[in-house]
Amino acid sequence: MLKLTSTEPHRIVTETLIIPVCQDKDIHHSSVIRKLVRQALGIDTFQGDKNEELSLHQPAEVKAKRVLFVGLGPHAELAPEHFRQAAGKGVRLAMHAAKGDAVLVLPDGDLGDNLAREDLMAAMAEGAFLSNHCPTPYKSEQKIQALKTIRLYTDAALARRSRAALKRIDAVCRGTLQARDWINQPANEKTPDQLARHMAQAARRHGVKATILDEKKLQGLKMGAILAVGAGSAHPPRLLILDYRPPKARGTIALVGKGVTFDAGGLNLKPTGSIELMKIDMAGAAAVAASVIATAEIGAKQRIVGVIPLVENMVSGNAFRPGDIVRAYNGRTIEIGNTDAEGRLILADALAYTAKQYNPQTMIDMATLTGACVVALGEKIAGLFSPDEPLRTVIEQAGREVHERCWPMPLPEDYQELLKSDLADMRNIGPGRWGGAIVAALFLSEFIGKTRWAHVDIAGPAHHKKAQAYGQPGATGFGVRLLCQAIAALQDEKR
């Protein structure tokens, strides 16, 4: 739980007081905080550098059991992400101190001309909230515990101005943690049906309508691609539809998320080294479900529909095969070149269905789609594909604001021929391995009809092996903050 406080720093009673410190300039106004910062900088192991921290026990100036200083680096380079990270690190360190609470001090001194205090408040709140999470429910003994309360110290005027923003941050960050929990959950506890139910339940709690289509319904709808991918699993596929529909909705935004609860690769089985992590192959689905729920909580003006195909890509006597030809929802036939290119298949049905059923103004899909995208952009940046340049700009900008970065990738028309098939309307893979992320995106573009569409490939940033400033090792929840920010921007878009 995040709260704001305007109690003067020297009166605040807390386990841990967290103070962000700049290397070469005092950014705090309060004389007590300034004095503490001078004291910290006087100790030769702490210069206020990025990645530096220092803790003092019960200094006389304040009523905190300890004061944690977190370095921000040089003043000239300050950006909201530094504050997000500093708050995240501070909270993580506070969590190691057995129990209790922490108070973060929002700087109120000279921040230069480019940083608005509202943005710093938002960034610190986010970093603190996202850090305060222990994703190890299966361990018999928890090493650290989440803090019960986190307060953000700021003056009364800013506190008053920030209440609404803080509510929004609370919803979006809770969504991000929910997405992380879903993704971290092992595949043996999230079969397509189980995950569909979990997500539906969470959605209904927030007034979002949830519908689960089972394999019989999918057969009736002729979703041949989803059914093919799901055929090899003992746990049949589902299509989950989340529908947030405010009265007098201003248009519809549709989100489509890849939900492969485990990607063994199918008969094109993944080798050791690639298969272990594949419980995360539903990170797109998690981001979409959590974003619909968070936007409903915030009360978006548009109708937001989340369409989530859930399957397990396994090996069995019933599994689909390389060489099979399947018919997608829109009637197009697909020759299977590789059963491990399953994400694009389930998205094909889901995108075609969404376009036809909801005719949205904008449709965004999110998917851990290709290893090739990770090769291209690494583990921290998502690939962004869209033929619509303004939509690309909105998503890129949203990504910069929340530091979930997206890089625009091309959709060259002449590459489309890589998907040609001798036997069917198209194949699900190209002839070689080059440009894999682009080829996958071009495949998806065959199923969107005339809908304004963007595709975000999050195979890299969905997961981190190591701890980050505001995330434990494991799922990052990447995409929730991005989608919520993009939806807010689309609401303001003139069209």
Q: Interface with Zn ion includes 263 (CB under 5 A)?
A: yes
Closest CA relative to residue 369, chosen from 272, 280, 268: 280
Binding mask 333-352 for ligand BES (x = CB under 6 A): -----x-xxxx---------
Q: How far apart are CA 469 and CA 20, in angstroms?
A: 14
Nearer to ligand BES, 153 or 443 (CB): 443
Nearer to ligand BES, 70 or 429 (CB): 429
Closest CA relative to residue 475, chosen from 181, 221, 257, 236: 181
Nearer to ligand BES, 281 or 365 (CB): 281
Q: How far apart are CA 108 and CA 124, in angstroms?
A: 13
Q: Interface with Zn ion includes 343 (CB under 5 A)?
A: yes
Map the footprint of ligand BES across residues 237-296, applying CB under 6 A: 263, 281
Q: How far apart are CA 144 and CA 398, in angstroms?
A: 33
Nearer to ligand BES, 152 or 440 (CB): 440
Q: Interface with Mn ion includes 312 (CB under 5 A)?
A: no
Q: 371, 408, 449, 473: which one contacts ligand BES (CB under 6 A)?
A: 371
Q: Are the C-beta atoms of residues 242 and 305 closer than 8 Å to each other?
A: yes
Smallest distance from ligand BES to CB 342, Å: 5
Nearer to Mn ion, 243 or 342 (CB): 342
SS3 content of the chain, % helix, strand, coil (to 5): 40, 20, 40
Q: Interface with ligand BES includes 372 (CB under 6 A)?
A: yes
Map the footprint of ligand BES across residues 436-455, applying CB under 6 A: 436
Per-residue b/e over 459-492, b at no fewer than 16 CB within 10 Å? bbbbbbeeebbbbbebbbbbbbbbbbbbbbebee
Map the footprint of ligand BES across residues 107-166, applying CB under 6 A: none
Q: 340, 349, 365, 457: which one contacts Mn ion (CB under 5 A)?
A: 340
Q: Are the C-beta atoms of residues 76 and 50 closer than 8 Å to each other?
A: no
Closest CA relative to residue 255, chosen from 151, 121, 365, 116: 365
Beta-sheet strand order (sheet of 2-5): 2-5, 149-153, 101-105, 13-22, 63-73, 53-57
Q: Are the C-beta atoms of residues 458 and 362 closer than 8 Å to each other?
A: no
Q: 459, 486, 487, 490: which one contacts ligand BES (CB under 6 A)?
A: 459
> Residues 20, 26, 30, CA angle at the centre, nearest 5°?
80
Catalytic residue among 35, 65, 245, 270: 270
Q: Interface with ligand BES includes 312 (CB under 6 A)?
A: no
Stretch that binds Mn ion, among 3-11, 169-177, 208-216, 263-271 (CB under 5 A): 263-271
Q: Interface with Mn ion includes 297 (CB under 5 A)?
A: no
Nearer to Mn ion, 340 or 404 (CB): 340
Stretch that binds Mn ion, among 38-46, 66-74, 342-350, 358-366 (CB under 5 A): 342-350
344 part of the active site: yes
Q: Interface with Mn ion includes 181 (CB under 5 A)?
A: no
Closest CA relative to residue 308, chosen from 287, 328, 293: 287
Q: How far, rounded to the nearest angstrom, does the alpha carbon of residue 248 sit from its chain's CA centroid?
A: 28
CA atoms within 13 A on the CB side of 312: 22
Stretch that binds ligand BES, among 76-84, 224-232, 317-325, 371-379 (CB under 6 A): 371-379
Helix (H) or strand (E) holding 54: strand 53-57
Catalytic residue among 238, 258, 344, 481: 344
Q: Are the C-beta atoms of residues 138 and 443 closer than 8 Å to each other?
A: no
Stretch that binds Zn ion, among 111-119, 243-251, 278-286, 449-457 (CB under 5 A): 278-286
Q: Interface with ligand BES includes 457 (CB under 6 A)?
A: no
250 part of the active site: no
Smallest distance from ligand BES to CB 343, Å: 4
Q: How far apart are CA 24 and CA 342, in angstroms?
A: 52
Q: How far apart are CA 196 and CA 193, in angstroms?
A: 5
Q: 185, 191, 370, 476: which one contacts ligand BES (CB under 6 A)?
A: 370
The DSSP line for 308-361 is EEEEEE--STT---TT-EEE-TTS-EEE-S-TT--HHHHHHHHHHHHHHHH--S
Q: How far apart are CA 238 and CA 226, in angstroms?
A: 9
Nearer to Mn ion, 19 or 367 (CB): 367
Nearer to ligand BES, 373 or 488 (CB): 373
Stretch that binds ligand BES, among 77-85, 109-117, 223-231, 365-373 (CB under 6 A): 365-373
Smallest distance from Zn ion to CB 469, Å: 28
225 binds, among ligand BES, Zn ion, Mn ion, none (CB under 5 to 8 A by kind): none
Q: Which two tokens stand for residue 329?
A: 């929802």
Strands 63-73 and 252-257: unpaired
Smallest distance from ligand BES to CB 315, Å: 14
Quote the crossing angle between the two packed helices 283-298 and 192-205, to the nearest 10°.
10
Q: 181, 215, 281, 404: which one contacts Zn ion (CB under 5 A)?
A: 281
Q: Interface with ligand BES includes 365 (CB under 6 A)?
A: no
Residue ranges in contact with Mn ion by CB under 5 A: 263, 340, 342
Residue ranges in contact with ligand BES by CB under 6 A: 263, 281, 338, 340-343, 368, 370-372, 374, 429, 436, 459
Residue ranges in contact with Zn ion by CB under 5 A: 260, 263, 281, 343
Catalogue the active-site residues: 270, 344
